[in-house]
Every structure is written in structure tokens, then in C-alpha cells.
A and B are shown apart, each in its own frame.
Chain A
Amino acid sequence: MTSFTLNGKPVNIDIEVETPLLWVIRDELGLTGTKFGCGIGMCGACTVHVGGRATRSCSTPLGKIEGADVITIEGLDPNGEHPVQKAWKALQVPQCGYCQSGQIMQAVALLQDFSKPTDEDIDAVMAGSLCRCMTYVRIRSAIKQAAVEMGSTSNG
């Protein structure tokens, strides 16, 4: 039995502790916003937050998250209005959209650690989140726009 919280709600689940967290989130708990990309932690599509840190759920075994707080794209904001999500919509970042929940989760974590990220910061932290539609230019713009909004809310 593994216990953790998912988007603020307690979860107790009795499956093999080696099961990737991604399968638990999608197949057992039915939240399909988090995507499968490569399965080996190399593309970022499956990124969720564990303890507030961006974490690749495809290569995190369930047993490792006992007692932890997990947030998926569905839990980021009840109305999908997190400043990063708003910036993503305003700048029309997604094309096919498959990688975007992972991109957004990674970007939110980036802005927690680097409130005014430089291009170098964005390149270093986001390089592990691949986008086959090449939306990188708009991702960078949206991160900077969200940083401005988050900076003004926190100061204001």
C-alpha cells in the first residue's frame, strides 16, 4: 500500500511499488493530462510536481513517493488560470499540444526558483522538455510574460 496526495486529495493505492508514477496517475487514477513521451526521463512530457519540484513521472517508481505531495497539470489551478497557463493561452504556445502539460509544469517550477529567468536559465532548465512542433520561441516568451505577471502579483 502506497499513500500520497494527488492534487491535494489523499490516495491509498495497492499496486506494485515499481510501477511508474505516470501509469498510476493516468491508468489507475484517470488523470490523463500528464503524457507519456519517451518513458526514460529524457523528454519531459510526463513532468509533474513532487514536493513542489518538477519530476519526470515516467521514471519515478510509485514506492519512491510514499508520503509525498504530487501535483499534476489538472491540479495547478482549479480554473486553469495559473499565470503560466494564462500566458500560454495569450501567446498561443501549443501547436499539437502533446508536450505542453509537461512544458507548463516545468515552467512553473522554473519560475519558483528563478523569478526573473534569463535566456540562459530558461535554456538550461527547459532543455529537457522536448517539443516536436518546435514551439520553443513562444515557450520562452510565455515564461517571460508569466514572470512579469507573477512578479507584479507577488509585489502587489
Chain B
Amino acid sequence: MLKRMIAGLLILVIIGLGGFFVAAYRPALPATTAIATFAPELVAKGEILAGAGNCAGCHTVKGSAPYSGGYAMKTAFGTIYSTNITPDPETGIGTWSQAAFQRALQEGVARDGSHLYPVFPYDHFTKISDEDVSALYAFMMTRDPARVPDKVNELPFPLNIRALQAGWKLLFFKSGRYAEQANHDAAWNRGAYLSQGLAHCGACHTPRNALGAEAHDLEFAGAPIDNWIAPSLTKTNPSPKPWTEAELLVYLRTAVSQYHGTAIGPMSVVVHDGLAKLTDADIKSIATYFADVNGAASHGESAKPPLQNVVGVSAVGSNIYTAACASCHYNNSEPPNPLRPDLAMNSAVNLADPTNLIQVVLHGVSAKEGAPGVVMPAFANGLSDGDIAQLADYLRRSRTNLAPWPNLEKAIADIRAQEIQ
């Protein structure tokens, strides 16, 4: 009897597994050897779209050929390396037909039929229209081919079995193009199409669940990414000044916002290298969309935060600020000079998590990041964890009415340690 039950169970398991692998199976698409030619206008359109998708941001590493891959994406599950998407036939996507390219973007399946990991944001790219996919294909296939073999991912068993990704897709992936929303105008829809699809804003700004899928009920609510915080893009954003359409437009176009700070960390390349390719109209449509998402129109603008609320404030922190920071950050009137970022308004000081402020104090801002051509010095060598903790605590208490940050010294030590790894 027992033997029969075990045998029965085994058969069920085998059938189940078999069924799963049949469902997970995707055919390889034929390799193309034909050298396609593309209309220059289509390539030019693809270049702009590749900027919107910030393809280069993840598919290029410093010192290597553009789009040749190798960028390490450290996830909770292991490290996954981006792949070579130049048209090299052996190590890139030179043998991919447009149909294969389209299936990769819209369904997350490689030409050989293997499932892609969702670090490649096909859950967003599935919304891209077929026309835009053609333009992206034309652009990618006309890049200089680079012979750079893909790196091997560092994923533990069984996550290294790509077929299992079919299960993840079953749970979390919904294939389908962007659907226009009739209750919004064309600009809003264009902004939503770009933001939800190609620009995949949610990939960084939406928190993920335990299995790494974006939590749709928390869309754009802010999340940690690469040792930085991608702030909330919804009404939960704690900035005292609203992210109005005008503020978003200037920030996304120039990387500098007079009230919220500048684009640094992972957002720097998004603005400087990616979105820089887009037309003003497209940037404005993204600003229109997010001004609606964050409810800027109904944002009750806070009274100017207390600039000299000195209760409980450390004298050490105040002295460090006076010596090291005030020469650049002091303002005497409204609106603040955007090249003198006003720390009472700044995102880094108002976020619930001090990570971004700590990162900037430790490493400064290069001429290529943030406001172009100007820098902030780096204090990693000059200030101890205790010094930076006192400075951050002073700024938090004297510039905002928000709860003080707990355990700052440990947070600073942790961020220093993450970088050494």
C-alpha cells in the first residue's frame, strides 16, 4: 500500500514537473545571418528611445565598449551581469532577428528560448509599442559590434535554472502593450507610456516583494537601489516643497532642482546620459504624469521649516556645518540658489532614510553628476563616522520637523563597509 502511494506521488511529481517544463518551454528562434539595413530616421528614433530606456546605463561598464555588458547587478538572490547587446554575432545579439529582439523585450525570452531574469525589466518593456521596438532594434543593430563574452552569473542553485523563471512569470508577469487611459490627455498618456514602459522608473522607485517582483500596490513608493535610496514619486514623498510639473521638468532636463537637490547616485546617468536624448515635449509629458502621480496640485506646501531650531542639536555637528558646508550651502533669501542647495528643502535631508545624505557627504559629487561642471568635496577621509553622524543629526534636527534619524553611526559604518566589498 505504502509503496503504491509513493509510486503514485512520484508519478504525480514527474507529471507536474513535466507539465511545468512543457509550459516553460519557449522555442529557439532561427539565427539571422542577413545584414539588415535600416532607414536613418528609424535609427535616430531608436537612439532617442534607447536614451529613454537608459540601455547604456546597465549594458555598459566603464572602460569597455558601449553596450558590451558586464555590469554587475547585485540582487538579494545573487549577482547577475548584464549582457553584450552589441550586434557582434558570437558574443552579442548579431544573430537576433527583429522577432527575437521583440520577444526578449516584450516577453523576457532570449533568442535561444531561455527565460531572462527580471533584472532585465521586460515587465516594463512589455508595454513598449511594436513600432518603438522596431526603432530600438534598428538602433542596436547599427552599433559597433564588440567581441566581449558575457560574464557568468553568480546565482545559487536552483535560481540558476532559467526554466524556473517561467514560474516567476506566472506569478508576477503580465504581458501586454500600454493601454491609453481615456480619462487623461495625450501628454499624460505619453508620460505614462514612457515612465511605466521603456523608462522603467518603477524598477528603482517601486519596492519589491520577497521574490523580487515590484509590489504594485506600492507603485513608485520609493526603494533602496545600489546603496542609495530612490525616493518616493507619490504623495508619500516627504519634501516640504511639492514636485510640481515645472520642478520635475527642470530637474529631468537639467539635473538641478532649486528646491529638491540635484540628480546624483544612480539617477545621475539616467538624467545626464539617458533622458538627455529625449525631446523637451517628452520630458514635459513625463513631468505631467508624475506631477499627477504625486498629487502636486493638492500638496499643502509646508511652512518654511525652522532653520535655527537648535533644541537638542549637537554643537559638534553645528560647528562642522559652519566650517565645511555653509560656504556653499548658505542662502539668504527665497528662492534658494540651486547651486547652493538649500538643505532645509533637500530630498537627502527630508527622506526617512539617511543613506543619500551619508553617500554625498562621504563621496561628494563629481563634475559629471548633479549640476554639470561643479563639484562637492568628499569627506570620507576627513570625517569619522561619529563626525558625520553628528553633522547629519544636526541637519535633520535643525532643518526639518521630522523625526531624528536613529543609529546614524552604524548606518555610516555599514555604507562604508558595503563599498569595500
A contact residues vs B (CB 8 Å cutoff): 4, 39-44, 50-56, 58-61, 63-69, 106, 113-114, 118, 120-121, 124-130
Contacts and interface: CB of A to CB of B under 8 A. Distances in A.
Contact of A60 (B322, B327, B340, B375): B375
A109 B378 CA distance: 20
A63 B337 CA distance: 26
Contacts of B339: 53
Contact of A124 (B330, B378, B383): B330
B338 to A, nearest CB: 11
Interface in B321-343: 322-328, 330, 332, 337, 339-340
Given A51-B372, A66-B368, A129-B327, 9 more contacts: A56-B377, A59-B377, A59-B379, A59-B381, A60-B377, A65-B366, A118-B332, A120-B332, A121-B330
A41 B324 contact: yes
13 contacts: A40-B379, A42-B382, A51-B372, A52-B373, A52-B374, A53-B375, A59-B381, A64-B366, A66-B366, A67-B368, A68-B374, A106-B327, A120-B332
Interface of B: 320, 322-328, 330, 332, 337, 339-340, 364-368, 371-375, 377-379, 381-383
A144 B66 CA distance: 52
B76 to A, nearest CB: 30
Contact of A39 (B323, B332, B374, B382): B382
A41 B332 contact: no
Nearest 5 pairs between A and B by C-beta?
A: A40-B382, A51-B373, A51-B374, A68-B367, A59-B377
B367 A65 contact: yes
Contacts of B375: 50-51, 53, 55, 60, 64-65, 68
A125 B330 contact: yes
Contacts of A39: 382
Given A40-B379, A60-B364, A114-B332, A68 B373 contact: yes
Contact of B332 (A43, A56, A66, A121): A121
A128 B421 CA distance: 35
A64 B367 CA distance: 6
B359 to A, nearest CB: 14
B373 A43 contact: no
B330 A42 contact: no
Given A106-B327, A127-B323, A64 B332 contact: no
Contacts of A106: 327
Contacts of A58: 377
A52 B340 CA distance: 12
A59 B328 CA distance: 14
Nearest to A110: B327
A56 B346 CA distance: 22
Contacts of B377: 41, 55-56, 58-60
Contacts of A130: 323
B198 to A, nearest CB: 28
B420 to A, nearest CB: 14
Contacts of B367: 4, 50-51, 64-68
Nearest to A49: B374
A41 B321 CA distance: 11
A127 B327 contact: yes
Contacts of B368: 66-67
B325 to A, nearest CB: 8
A50 B374 contact: yes
A51 B373 CA distance: 5
A57 to B, nearest CB: 8
Contacts of A54: 327-328
